[in-house]
Amino acid sequence: LVPEHPTQSVCESANMGGPKTVEVNPQESQFGDVKWHNLSIDECMSLQTTKADGLSAQEAASRLTKFGTNELTPPPKPGLLMKLWYQINNILIYILIAATILSAILEEWKEVALICAVVVINVTIGIVQEGKAEKAADAIKNMLAPKAMVIRGGAQVEIQAAEIVPGDIVKIKKGDQVPADVRMIEVSRLQTDEAMLTGESMPVAKHTDPVALESGLGDRKNLAFSATKVTEGEGTGIVIGTGDFAEIGRISGMVSQEEDTKTNLMVQLEIFGRFVSFFVAVIAVATLLIAHYSADEDLGTA
């Protein structure tokens, strides 16, 4: 029988001391929940169907076509009109717009100018804040390494980091940015700065031994993560995650993802806006009725 989730079966077999030979498509292993930190070097090599002298040029080209480039997907950027709609689609803004129209009908031009100024300032602040969020997502993208040293067909070559694919053998040294998520297979006093991912203020020393399955990100010391800085030593590793499938890609996705969840403040403002609109409507109707019945005026004049 073929297991429904071959990637999961490989992990379980490895953890239980089962067979070391695995049959998993590299694409499935990138997309699947493979615990690379818990696997041995040989198991990682087998999962990515690669070897110490690297991928051939033909295999690298094939994987680049299959997986795509080692780049982060740019976040969606709504146009100016959509940004404007996001800011005015609020019940409090609707109330202010209605007040502006009524003031204009009554030719209260000072009130019209004041209310319009409030609306414009509110919308401008909201659009500026959205722009800052977009810049934060772009800043993450700019953290990626521009070039990388890889072993292809037994030869060490420098390539554009965007051309790295899962299964590539990469070499990193002091001063480099790690070009992708990497399972280390050789290290020499290797240390990386992972503050951007884990908040760890001190450089993390790397090794090649498997670590516990339940280890957190900061304890996976046999992995080096994309966009982190090598502060000491050098090492060689096998690429296990590129682009959006690297840890930095997951962070970029969370930053650029449009959140539908409303904060408590937003909920409270909506409740307040509904209360204000209801209160204004009641006062308006009461004033209309009082003017009609007490002053004996018709509804149009009232």
The sign of the CA dihedral 297, 298, 301, 302 is positive
Query: CA 178 → CA 80, 110, 175, distances in Å?
Result: 36, 60, 10
Nearest to 167 by CA among 64, 26, 34: 26
Residues of the chain with pLDDT > 90, as a percent, come to: 37
Single pTM value for the model: 0.64
- Listing DSSP states for the chain in one string gives ---SSHHHHHHHHHHTT--S-----HHHHHHTT--GGGS-HHHHHHHTT--TT-B-HHHHHHHHHHH--S-PPPPP---HHHHHHHHH-SHHHHHHHHHHHHHHHTT-HHHHHHHHHHHHHHHHHHHHHHHHHHHHHHHHHTTS-SEEEEEETTEEEEEEGGG--TT-EEEEETTPBP-SEEEEEEEEEEEEE-HHHH---S-EE---S---TT--GGG-TTEE-TTPEEEEEEEEEEEEE-GGGSHHHHHHHHHHSPP-PPPHHHHHHHHHHHHHHHHHHHHHHHHHHHHHHHS---TTT-
Provide the token pair at 48. 């990515």
Pairing state between β 147-152 and 155-160:
antiparallel
Query: CA 64 → CA 20, 29, 115, distances in Å?
Result: 27, 15, 56
pLDDT, tens digit, for every residue of 216-244?
Answer: 999 999 999 999 999 999 999 999 999 88
pLDDT of 11 above 60? no
Taken as a whole, the chain contains a residue count of 302
pLDDT band at 298 (very low <50, low <70, confident <90, very high): low
pLDDT for the residue numbered 6 = 36
**Higher per-residue confidence, 204 vs 268:** 204
pLDDT for the residue numbered 28 = 41
Q: Mean pLDDT for the chain?
A: 80
- C-beta of residue 177 within 8 angstroms of C-beta of residue 230: yes
Q: How far is CA 277 from the centre of its chain?
A: 38
Q: Which residues contact 145 (CB under 8 A, 6 or more apart)?
A: 161, 176, 177, 178, 179, 226, 227
The answer to which of 68-72, 85-89, 232-236 has the lowest mean pLDDT is: 85-89
Query: CA 194 → CA 20, 27, 203, 239, distances in Å?
Result: 31, 26, 7, 17
pLDDT of 177 above 50? yes
Provide the token pair at 244. 């959006």
pLDDT for the residue numbered 295 = 63
The answer to which of 14-28, 108-122, 182-196, 254-268 has the lowest mean pLDDT is: 14-28
pLDDT, tens digit, for every residue of 105-159?
Answer: 878 888 889 888 988 888 888 788 777 767 766 666 677 788 999 999 999 999 9
Tell me the C-alpha distance between 256 and 250, whole Å.
Answer: 10
pLDDT for the residue numbered 262 = 57
pLDDT band at 190 (very low <50, low <70, confident <90, very high): very high
Query: CA 211 → CA 62, 130, 180, distances in Å?
Result: 32, 41, 20
pLDDT for the residue numbered 235 = 96
Q: What value does the mean pLDDT take over residues 200-219?
A: 93
**Higher per-residue confidence, 130 vs 169:** 169
Q: What value does the mean pLDDT take over residues 81-98?
A: 81
Q: What value does the mean pLDDT take over residues 276-285?
A: 78
Q: What value does the mean pLDDT take over residues 91-103?
A: 82
Residues of the chain with pLDDT > 70, as a percent, come to: 79
